[in-house]
Structure 1
Amino acid sequence: MFSSEPVAAARPGRDGLWPRRLLSLVVGGAVAVLAARVLLPLTASQLDAFRDLAWVAAVAHLGQQRWRPRRTGRLVWRARVFGRHGVEPGFVARRSAAGWVELIATVAVTTTLTVGVISLLPDGGSWAAARPVLLGVVAVRLGVCVYREVRFPDRVALTASGLRDGRHRYAWSDIAATSLQDGGGVRLRLAVRQIPPPVVGGRGLAVSDERLLAAIDQVRSGPQVLAVGLPISAAEPAG
């Protein structure tokens, strides 16, 4: 049985964090530059095509939400898990195929819709000067999206310092209870009530909700076991 003592002393190490940040900036910046080189030279008539693409992307996005593939993945122990403020050992879970499709579809919808709206701007006056600026913003947003994916390669991470879901982090002392969420995912009831309560996992994660819940409860009951740095196995759901 793990001890439930607080783990205030568990601090992520910073070794390897800045190289990851630099890699993320380089890759994200390259994508932003490439997107700008594609978007900025487009004429008004060429931008009009994005309105039709937005409809196609929206239909595809709605369709992919009905996909519920089997999730048979497991949480994997890693000696180096990249967090917001450091690197530490812990369990990680990757996106599922459905999660990647959802991410790509979401980016496609927002990008084509935004560019389609920009194409509606009048050709003359100050609007003509605003168009390349707005297209540049779209390119930067694409770069930021890629930066985040490279910066946090694991969708969910459980470490001694807390639970990370993408860019969001929850300290173990802040999680009062956990339960399966109707419709998918694991609901976190925080000590400081949050409405709606955060939900992690779901169809976008390769690990089933039951396995994720078992691992979260395992680490929450004694997170300091991960700070030791020795490989351990994630708990499996009962039954």
Structure 2
Amino acid sequence: MQGSGAAGLWGRRVVAGLVGAGASGVAAVVVARMPVDTTDDEAVGLVVWLLTGALLLLSRERRPRRRARLVWRARVAGLHGVEPGLVGRRSVAGWAEVAREMLLPILLALMLVAWLPGQEWSGWARIVVAVGVGVLVGRMAYDVARFTGAVALTASGIRQGRRQVAWVTVDQTLLRRSHGHVDGVYLRTVSGRRVPRSHTVGGRTVAVPDERLRAAIDHYRGRPEMLAVGLPVEAPEPAAQPPG
């Protein structure tokens, strides 16, 4: 079973590689076509200001209503293979964060190239910067396409992005609150210490409400093998809160 899951991952890696290569090429070309020593050029300044405005807009903290459900998928691409499980999609805020993280290095690279002096070595420096930004953006795009969903619950563990927590280490779940809002699910380990903050799952970048995600984690925490049977399973709904 494990071997077939690992073998099934190659197709996903190929697709993610193509997506990453495309994003890398676009970013590199955009930076490589930026003329050097053009800080006083009005057209260049306009492009930089437009990109800066887009970046500021994407950086605004959005808290859209999250009403999505965890959906069962027969093939969930994870860290080491493909297996069945429950998947939560990325929210609007999550996609805005992805766009912001890709746009930021491009904007910084354009500003750097524009500041380069009009000398012969500046052309080579521009190529180096363009290649570096292309690799960075390409890797980001690869990671987005590489994994199924923003968060996934499989028999292997609880995964969000490249971070995965094994079921056996989770002893308790807690809702994380930030500025008066629920923003993620903390996972407490068996030893009584919280898993490092980077392993908090859910949050505003996931379209599934954290209460619903927590209920599913608690439900399958003691029986994760139920997610590996290959038959559709449903995520439980959180318990109704008492009035008042």
TM-score of the aligned structures, taking structure 1 as reference length: 0.85
Deviation at 1:54, TM superposition (A): 4.8
Cross-structure match for 1:208: 209
Cross-structure match for 2:162: 167
| 8 A contact 1:50–1:116 mirrored in 2 | no
Cross-structure match for 1:158: 153
Unaligned runs of 5+ in 1: 1-8
Pick one of 131, 137, 149 that aligns with 1:136: 131
Q: CA–CA distance in 1 between the matches of 2:175 and 2:14?
A: 37
| Residue 103 (str. 1) matches residue 98 (str. 2) | yes
- 1:210 counterpart letter in structure 2: E
SS in 1 for 2:177: coil
Cross-structure match for 2:52: 55
Deviation at 1:42, TM superposition (A): 2.4
Deviation at 1:15, TM superposition (A): 3.9
Cross-structure match for 1:39: 31
Query: Quick check: 47-56 or 177-186, which moved more?
Result: 47-56
Identity of aligned residues (%): 42
User: What are the residue-to-residue correspondences of 1:60-79 with 2, within 5 Å?
Assistant: 60-63=57-60, 65=61, 67-79=62-74
Q: Which of the pair has the greater relative contact order for Cα pairs under 8 Å at 6+ separation?
A: 1
TM-score of the aligned structures, taking structure 2 as reference length: 0.84
Q: CA–CA distance in 2 between the matches of 1:96 and 1:103?
A: 11
Cross-structure match for 1:29: 21
Q: CA–CA distance in 2 between the matches of 1:20 and 1:30?
A: 15
Query: Quick check: 155-164 or 42-51, which moved more?
Result: 42-51
- 2:19 counterpart letter in structure 1: V
- 2:221 counterpart letter in structure 1: R
Q: CA–CA distance in 2 between the matches of 1:219 and 1:51?
A: 49
> What is the root-mean-square deviation in Å for CA atoms of aligned residues?
2.4
Q: CA–CA distance in 1 between the matches of 2:234 and 2:14?
A: 31
| 8 A contact 2:31–2:130 mirrored in 1 | yes
Q: CA–CA distance in 1 between the matches of 2:79 and 2:197?
A: 23
* Aligned residue pair count: 229
Which 4+ residue blocks in structure 1 deviate beyond 3 angstroms? Answer: 9-12, 46-51, 125-128, 190-197
SS in 2 for 1:102: helix
Unaligned runs of 5+ in 2: none
Deviations 1:144-194 (A, max 9, x none): 111111111310000001011011111111223211001211112235755
